[in-house]
Each structure stands twice: as C-alpha cells, then as structure tokens.
Amino acid sequence: MAKYNPKSLIAEEFISDEEIRATLEYAEANKNNVELIDAILDKARPQKKDNGTFCTGLNHREASVLLACEIPEKIQEMYKLAEEIKQAFYGNRIVMFAPLYLSNYCVNGCVYCPYHHQNKTICRKKLTQEEVRNEVIALQDMGHKRLAIESGEDPVNNPIEYILECIDTIYSIKHKNGAIRRVNVNIAATTVENYKKLKDAGIGTYILFQETYHKESYLKLHPTGPKHDYAYHTEAMDRAMQGGIDDVGLGVLFGLELYKYEFAGLLMHAEHLEAVHGVGPHTISVPRIKRADDIDPDVFDNGIDDDTFAKICALIRISTPYTGMIISTRESQAVREKVIKLGVSQISGASRTSVGGYTEEERPHDSEQFDVSDTRTLDEVVKWLMELGHIPSFCTACYREGRTGDRFMSLCKSGQIQNCCHPNALMTLKEFLMDYASEDTKKIGEALIQAELENIPKEKVKEICKENLEKIQNGIRDFRF
C-alpha cells in the first residue's frame, strides 16, 4: 500500500487512500469531542498581525472532524467563522464569469457526462473561429470580461492547437467597449509542453476537476478513454505548475462518491500543491451532478442535500482561506444566495452550457453539458447581488499585473487587498453600469459605488479611484490597481 507523502509527485502517495480512511475514522471518533472541535475552530480564526489579517487554515484531518460534527451550535459557529473569513479576505466582492463551450466532441467514456463518446443522441458541435467570434461578441454585449473555456477531450477534433487558436481569437475581439480580459481554461489533463503553450497564450487559471479522489470509483466512472488513467489525471496540476501555470483550480464532482472521502481528498490535494510548489490552488469549484441529455443524476447514490453542500462550502472557506471558491449556474438562486455568504468568491452568470449557446435566441438543449438551474440574465444576477449587499466585480487585474500564484496570496495576506481589489471591483462595476446595465440596475449600482468608495482605506487610492470613475463616466475604460 502506498505510504502517504504530501510532497510526493505520485498520485497514490499524495492522495493516499489509507490516509483518507484513517482521517475519516479519526473524524468519526471525534465528532462529539467538543474540546477538540473548539480548538480546531480557534486555530482557524482570523488573527491580526502587523497591518494585516491572517489565517492559518486547517489540514484535512482537522477539517474532517468539523465535517463529521453534527452538533447544531457547532455548525452555526462554523458558518459564522466562514462568514468572518470571507469578509476578511474577499469583503463583499463577487467576481463574475461565464463558461464558453468550444466543442463537445469527446473520446472519453465518463458515465456522468453527456459528452461521453457512446452518446449518439447528443448533437456534436465544434465552434469555428467565426462562431467563437460571434459567441464572444454576445458575451461581451452582456458585460462579461472573464471566461472559462470548456471542451471535451478529443485529440483529433479539439487538439491543443485548436484550443490555442480559440484563445487567440477570444483575446483579439474588441467589440464596442467590450473585451475579454481573462480566459481561464477547463480542458482535459495534458502534457507539460501543452501547459507551457497555454501559459504562453496568456491564460488565467487552469481548471481541472478531479471528479472523484476515490481511485476504485474513478476507474469505474471513467471506463474508457485517456481520462481512465487516474494517475495522469491526478498529477495534472503538478505538470501544469511545471509548465509555468501558477494559478490552478481544483474541484470535485459531488454526488459521485461519499462526500467525506472527497472532502479529505480535496484538501490533501491542496496541501500537496502547497508542499511541493509553495502555493495552494487558486480556486476550488464545488459542482454537483445535474441532469443532462442521457444522464440521470438519481442513478448516482451519493448526492448531497443543500445543507451538507453549504457545510462543505463553509469548511472549504475555513480550511483554505486564500483560495477562491467558485459556484456555477448548476445551483439555484436560493442555494447560491446561501453559499455566497459562506465563502464563495466567484460565480458564473447567464451561462449557456451548450456549444454555440450564446448566439441562440432561445436556450438550446441539444448540445448542453448539464441543465442550468439559475437561468437569469447577467443584468438580473448583478442587480440581485447588489440588493443582497454584494459588489459584483468584473476585475481581471491580478493576473494582468503579474499577481499570480504566491504573489496573489501575499496580496491577500498583506491587508492591501482592500486598497486593490475593492477599488478594482468598483471601477469594473462602473464600466458594466455604463455599458450594459438596465436603468434599474444602474441606479442601484451608482448608489452602491458611492457608498463603497468610503470603504477604501487609503486616501490616495480613494482619490485615484474617484478620478478613474469620472473618466469611465466620460468614456475611457480599463483602469486597475
């Protein structure tokens, strides 16, 4: 049996099944140990140091004890702490993005995904560069500045050259005041050489969901195709980092395996990246299985209810305080509202999960990857967020200023985030209001910006931000700190 070693580059050593099982036993044995639970919660609390606030986070064993704990008052404490940590590092900002599906050709046999190659009913599509252009214009016209490109795995139909060409096309399109300023990439595990190419193409985060950390289940859930190779998939983030990409995004597809197992695996993966590369994951996504073309989510036994889902989100926030958390339109408005408070920092809006979906008048279902629960327009989502007291942010500054990997983490830890991310959020929201918002949204947004300007600590930064807002009002775009 493989010995647990977070510094190893071998999948079965840094995600050790033995260590996960021991963790789950330890968590179960201590789930009513109030003294230990209190000590873990205390360890995770934000602390003041020099000018900033810092958090130590929790390791997979500590976090698993909290996940196992079912004492209602302790769960409320976890929620409160998650909210506090969210406030300390992310304030009330929520970064907006949209997925862009390039191709649903796929050679894999993933049993939960409608793109699996045996599916003969789904309409297979791959965007031409002209179609990419039209989709991007449609996304720009909604107000999006940040995309996550998505594609099935198919070396013939969607080779890396195709993905790179699409990225070039996306960045090149300047339509009215629109621009896509950050392209994140969610494509199958690949080689160091290909990760270098993605890095050179100027991508933001490389995102790859592990789906499940349980090797035996992984092999059954991915019976055929290159994705069947558990080690190659699990070690992908190390290759991405070797290729120079220092912002990587992890995720588990909740519903496939027992959530406590997945949660421990996810945190062990984050600890491994920190141990080997000196920087943890930039983001963690928390998708749950959804209905799709020939996929019935009820076939999978491990679905989790909304309360468990919220607890997982809160505990990810507590355990990895400097890692962004992403929630997609797989979740309903009500669930999104709950987990945004508990620590989610990025959400998608007005998503179409079909290839070519943004240029269709009606939401198409023939090539969709999954059913969308939150079907509101971007303007509606932005308005809703502001009414709840959040600042929708279209900021893409960090990676364009070279603040990636540990440089981003230092910004988080230094206390300067409020002088940087906060004004950037206000300026990019102002752009949205000027160029894309409805009258109602604009009114709420202008008032919010005026009120939130007062929350910029440094006078000098506040002054510059005010000047820039004035310039945006007069038609100039793209300011950042």
Catalog residues that contact ligand SAM under the rule CB under 6 A.
112-113, 150, 152-153, 186-188, 208-209, 211, 227, 253, 287, 289-290, 292, 295, 330, 369-370
Q: Rounded to the nearest whole angstrom, what is the least distance from the CB of residue 432 to ligand SAM in the complex?
A: 26
Q: Rounded to the nearest whole angstrom, what is the least distance from the CB of residue 407 to ligand SAM in the complex?
A: 27
244 or 303: CB nearest ligand SAM = 303
369 or 418: CB nearest ligand SAM = 369
Q: 220: Cβ–Cβ under 8 A, 6 or more apart, which residues?
A: 111
Q: Rounded to the nearest whole angstrom, what is the least distance from the CB of residue 118 to ligand SAM in the complex?
A: 14
Q: Rounded to the nearest whole angstrom, what is the least distance from the CB of residue 369 to ligand SAM in the complex?
A: 5
154 or 452: CB nearest ligand SAM = 154
148 or 350: CB nearest ligand SAM = 148
Q: What is the spatial distance between Cα 337 and Cα 190, in angstroms, rounded to a whole number?
A: 35
Q: Rounded to the nearest whole angstrom, what is the least distance from the CB of residue 187 to ligand SAM in the complex?
A: 6
Distance, C-alpha 4 to centroid of its chain: 27
Q: 457: Cβ–Cβ under 8 A, 6 or more apart, which residues?
A: 418, 419
Q: What is the spatial distance between Cα 293 and Cα 297, in angstroms, rounded to a whole number?
A: 11
Please give the full DSSP string across 321-343, using - where no structure is assigned: TTSEEEE-TTS-HHHHHHHHHTT
Q: Rounded to the nearest whole angstrom, what is the least distance from the CB of residue 188 to ligand SAM in the complex?
A: 4
Please give the full DSSP string across 24-47, using - where no structure is assigned: HHHHHHTTT-HHHHHHHHHHHS-E
209 or 232: CB nearest ligand SAM = 209
230 or 370: CB nearest ligand SAM = 370
Q: What is the spatial distance between Cα 4 and Cα 275, in angstroms, rounded to a whole number?
A: 13
Q: CB–CB of 434/399 below 8 Å?
A: no
372 or 397: CB nearest ligand SAM = 372
User: b/e per residue, 108-137, with b = 16+ CB within 10 A?
Assistant: bbbbbbbbbbebeebebbbbeeebbbbbbe
287 or 349: CB nearest ligand SAM = 287
94 or 295: CB nearest ligand SAM = 295
Tell me the residue length of the chain: 481
Please give the full DSSP string across 109-123, using - where no structure is assigned: --TT-TTSTT--SSP
Angle between helices 439-453 and 459-473 (to 10 degrees): 160
Q: Rounded to the nearest whole angstrom, what is the least distance from the CB of residue 170 to ligand SAM in the complex?
A: 17
Q: Rounded to the nearest whole angstrom, what is the least distance from the CB of residue 373 to ligand SAM in the complex?
A: 11
Q: What is the spatial distance between Cα 106 and Cα 13, in angstroms, rounded to a whole number?
A: 30
Q: What are phi and psi of 411, to 5 degrees?
A: -60, -45
Q: Rounded to the nearest whole angstrom, what is the least distance from the CB of residue 125 to ligand SAM in the complex?
A: 13
